[in-house]
Structures are given as structure tokens and as C-alpha cells.
Amino acid sequence: MNKTVYRNVLSEAGISPREIEKRVGSCFDAIFYGPDKFYFEAGSDMAYIEDTGNLDVRTEGMSYGMMMCVQMDKKAEFDRLWKWAVTYMYMDEGENSGYFAWSVSPDGNPNAHGPAPDGEEYFAMALFFAAHRWGDGAGIYNYSGWARAILRACLHKEDGGRGRNMWDRDNHLIRFIPEADFTDPSYHLPHFYDQFALLADPEDRPFWAQAAAASRDYLQLACHPVTGLSAEYAEFDGSPCTRLRERFGRHDWHYSDAYRTVANIAMDYCWFGEARGETWQAEIAEKVRRFFLETAAENPRGIYAVDGTFLPGAALHPTAITATLAESAIASPEPLSGRALRCVREFWDTPLRTGNRRYYDNCLYLFALLALGGQYRIY
């Protein structure tokens, strides 16, 4: 299933092609090569993306960086990131063999010996796109071979008791971590799973098709029926996860991870939902925009429970909220108008974040920019 025409929401907002091209290029350059960059080259052929707020290298950021590069046709940077990930993050022994350590120090020493599934799903999708855009090479640059191997590990670790799968094979939902019996709504990427259903090992393709359907059903449960907000961590029935605060801290609120959920829902609509005549993605996106623009207008970058209850404190990643609200506009009715237009204009007038928390916000900023400009594509 491929798509040939991608909506350009920025153009609908009155922004010229030249301005869009300039902004996308300058954003990539700022992240990868500017004075506030968080892409760092290591040696002659490797590089890493640093989480500037936590001073580590995460599979989240490495896989995000690879997706940015394949979308923007930056093969050299892609290959540098991928080699660093394989060299320092890939685990080839123990119960987590076949997975990537989710946190590693910039010098290559692991901070953890377990994975975070959002990294694996982004690695696999970026690698498949790289294979289609640039062709497979040898060794670690056999992109599609590595993508299939990653997905194989995600589904078959429990065969013979060799660890835990990243997806629950019974309910087809992604786990927060392999040993968890709950999930993170922002990990759910049904638009990726549709691609995996075409590209993974043939015997696993039916599972991925079921996973796409299960995640679409799940996201409708996990997003509050009035506000559209999701929690960071949630039970498999969609309710916020409150039972594990002693281990993980509080994550039953709409906070950092959760900002991605509406952007992912909008991307699902962009790639596949519109063609199927679906409306739920647009409905959730509009609820979230209405909440932040109207219900939470006095404190739009605060912390909220999923039902909209105001909680003490301020958002750790305010620019990420601005970016994902804007990205949600790709699931709005055409032509662009109303709250969706307001969010896009606010985003366009918002600069990249500076300071030590710039990594997460600016990753979501570039993804939003690509999506809104019709440049976040299936390859």
C-alpha cells in the first residue's frame, strides 16, 4: 500500500514553497550541524544523537535521527547513526539478544541492558525506507535484512523461553518494555504496522496486519472521549496506568511521551486513514486542539490529567506540544481552517527550542515540519 500525493498543510496556511523548503533545511541543519546541534560525529564513520536533557544516547533519538535522514535523503548521516547503534547499542547475547539497549552513554558504555520498543519499531521502519530509497548494501547496510531481523526478534523471543516479546501475541499490542503488562499509547504506530504487514517475514505479516487493527482500536480507547488526551502509560484496556508509580513514577497523566500520540494518529490518517474513509483520527485530533486552545487556554502548556483536570507544574516540553498540535492538522478537514489553522500558524511562528531540553522538542518539531509540508512519506 503506497501513497503518491501528500497533503501540504503549510501551503494551505499561505506559506510559499520556498519558505517551506528553507525552514525544513534550516531545521535539519540546526539539529545536525548548528551551534545547538545534538547530532555528534564519532570517528570517521559513526555518529550519535544525544538526549541533551539526560546526557545519554537513546534508541528513541537514534531511530528518530535515522527516520529524519531517510526522509530528507541524507544517506551519509543515516549510515553513521546506524553504525553507532549497531556498534554500541545492539545486544547479541542474553535474554535481550536481538534488541538494542535503550540508553547508552556518549562514550558507548551501556546505561541499561534492556530495550524500549519504540526504538525498535522506528529502527525497522527507517531501515525499510532506506532499502527502498537507496538500495540494500552489504553487512549492516543490508537495511531490509536488518529490519526483518529486528521485527523477528520483537515477535519471537518467547519461542523456547529466550526472553520476552515486545508485542503481546494474544492482544497484538506493543508493550512498554518487554516484561511489562501495560503499554504506552504514544508507542502505537499502526501506519508503521501496515508497512510491516507488507515487508516483514512472510509468516509474520498476518500478525502485523492484526497489530495495525488492534492499535487503531486501542488508540480510540486510550484517548479520553471529551479531551482526546492520552496518558503516558496505560493499561491494555486504555485506562491510565496508576499501579506502578513506585517503580516508574507518575505517568498516568498527559505529559511528555503522550504529546506524540495525537501526532501519530494524524500520521495514520495521512498515510492510510483518509483512503479508507476513516473519521476517528480527525475527531480525536480536533478534541485535542479544542482542549488546548479553549479549555486549557489560560494555561495551555500546563500538566493535565487525561480528563482535563489541571495538575501542579508546567510542561517539560512546551515546544513539543506546539509541534504535535500543529501536526494534528493533517487529520483536519480541507481546506485548513479554524483551530487547525490556528495551531499551524502558531507552530510556524515558534522557533526551535534552545537549552538543555531541546532534543525531544526539536525532534518532534522537525517531524511536524516534514508532515505538514507533505514531506513525511512512505518509501
Inter-residue contact 131 to 144 (CB < 8 Å) = yes
Mean per-residue pLDDT for 285-311? Answer: 98
Q: Is there a domain that residue 357 lies in?
A: yes
Q: Is there a domain that residue 162 lies in?
A: no
Q: Is there a domain that residue 227 lies in?
A: yes
The pTM of this model reads 0.98
Q: Is there a domain that residue 86 lies in?
A: no
Look at residue 182 and tell me whether its pLDDT is greater than 70.
yes
Mean per-residue pLDDT for 237-255? Answer: 94
Mean per-residue pLDDT for 264-279? Answer: 96
Confidence label for 206 from pLDDT (cuts 50, 70 and 90) = very high
Model pLDDT, residue 248: 87
What's phi and psi for 164, nearest 5 deg? -115, 145
With cell 542474553, the residue in question is: 94
Give me the domain span that covers residue 375: 1-37+223-379
Rounded Cα–Cα distance for residues 127 and 360 (Å): 21
Q: Is there a domain that residue 29 lies in?
A: yes
pLDDT, tens only, 148-178: 999 999 999 999 888 999 999 999 999 999 9
Model pLDDT, residue 43: 94
Look at residue 2 and tell me whether its pLDDT is greater than 80.
no
Length reported for the chain: 379
Look at residue 183 and tell me whether its pLDDT is greater than 70.
yes
Which residue blocks in 33-142 are alpha helix, DSSP H?
59-71, 75-88, 117-134
Q: What is the CA radius of gyration of the chain?
A: 19
Look at residue 342 and tell me whether its pLDDT is greater than 80.
yes
Model pLDDT, residue 160: 84
Count of domains observed in the chain: 1
Confidence label for 303 from pLDDT (cuts 50, 70 and 90) = very high
Rounded Cα–Cα distance for residues 237 and 209 (Å): 20
Model pLDDT, residue 162: 87
Model pLDDT, residue 47: 99
| Cβ-proximal residues to 307 (8 Å cutoff; 6+ apart), any chain | 224, 226, 227, 229
Q: Is there a domain that residue 25 lies in?
A: yes
pLDDT, tens only, 44-80: 999 999 999 999 999 999 999 999 999 999 999 999 9
Nearest to 68 by CA among 129, 10, 153: 129
Model pLDDT, residue 161: 84
Model pLDDT, residue 247: 87
Model pLDDT, residue 289: 98
Active site residues: 60, 257
* Helix or strand (DSSP H, E) at 104: strand 103-104
Confidence label for 83 from pLDDT (cuts 50, 70 and 90) = very high
Mean per-residue pLDDT for 253-261? Answer: 98
Q: Please classify residue 308 by burial: count the beta carbons closer than 10 Å to its beta carbon, then call 0-12 exposed, 13-18 middle and 19+ buried.
A: middle
Q: Is there a domain that residue 122 lies in?
A: no
Q: Is there a domain that residue 49 lies in?
A: no
Look at residue 272 and tell me whether its pLDDT is greater than 80.
yes
User: For residue 315, what is the domain's CATH number?
Assistant: 1.50.10.10
Confidence label for 1 from pLDDT (cuts 50, 70 and 90) = low
Mean per-residue pLDDT for 198-209? Answer: 98
Model pLDDT, residue 4: 82
Model pLDDT, residue 339: 98
Rounded Cα–Cα distance for residues 234 and 247 (Å): 15
Look at residue 269 and tell me whether its pLDDT is greater than 60.
yes
